[in-house]
Amino acid sequence: MIEGIHHFHGAFLVLFLIGVYIMIDSPNLFKKVIGLNIMQISVFLLLVTIAYPAGAAPPLLHLDGPHPNPLAHVLVLTAIVVGVALTALALALIVRLHAELGTVNAREIEAALAADGDSDGDEESETESMTDGGTEDDR
């Protein structure tokens, strides 16, 4: 094993790559949120393991020896709260998209929004031509 590299770093890399693969490969928005959560968990694992030196003991039980850095643990707790809020918001938006468009497939949603955008542009041009024509008739 390489000096300074632990199996936790390998677990971080594997989990992160799994999350990236899920986000890139799947058009399902629910699966994309799950991939994002897997990536977040891998980063939490990395931060906690970096702050925990080899042979460290909790400072309340052992006064001598190395102790883990509590700052990383506090940052991870804050990141977990932010991650839960992000997940809740993403799921709420996905549920709203499903209610409006009837699908959670990103490609179908993109096509539906593009088609809706094209039809909105046609309606605006028709409205403008009707308004212009109406003002000329009134003169």
- 55-70, pLDDT tens digit by residue? 777 777 767 778 787 8
Range of the domain at 47: 7-104
How many domains is the chain built from? 1
For residue 11, give the 3-state DSSP assignment.
helix
Give residue for tokens 């024509």.
133
Q: Which residue has the higher pLDDT, 5 or 31?
A: 31
CB neighbour list of residue 75: distance below 8 Å, 6 or more residues apart? 47
> Residue 125 falls within a domain, yes or no?
no
CA 49 to chain CA centroid, nearest Å: 23
> Residue 69 falls within a domain, yes or no?
yes
Looking up residue 79, the CATH number of its domain turns out to be 1.10.287.3510
Q: Which two tokens stand for residue 49?
A: 């393991």
> Residue 33 falls within a domain, yes or no?
yes
Alpha-carbon distance values, 37 to 24, 34, 41, 68 (Å): 14, 5, 6, 25
Alpha-carbon distance values, 105 to 22, 27, 38, 112 (Å): 14, 5, 20, 11
Q: What is the pLDDT of residues 11-34, one digit of tens each?
A: 899 999 999 999 999 999 999 999
Which of 52, 46, 53 lies closest to 76 in space, CA to CA?
A: 46
Q: What is the pLDDT of residues 37-53, one digit of tens each?
A: 999 999 999 988 888 77
Q: Which residue has the higher pLDDT, 130 or 26?
A: 26
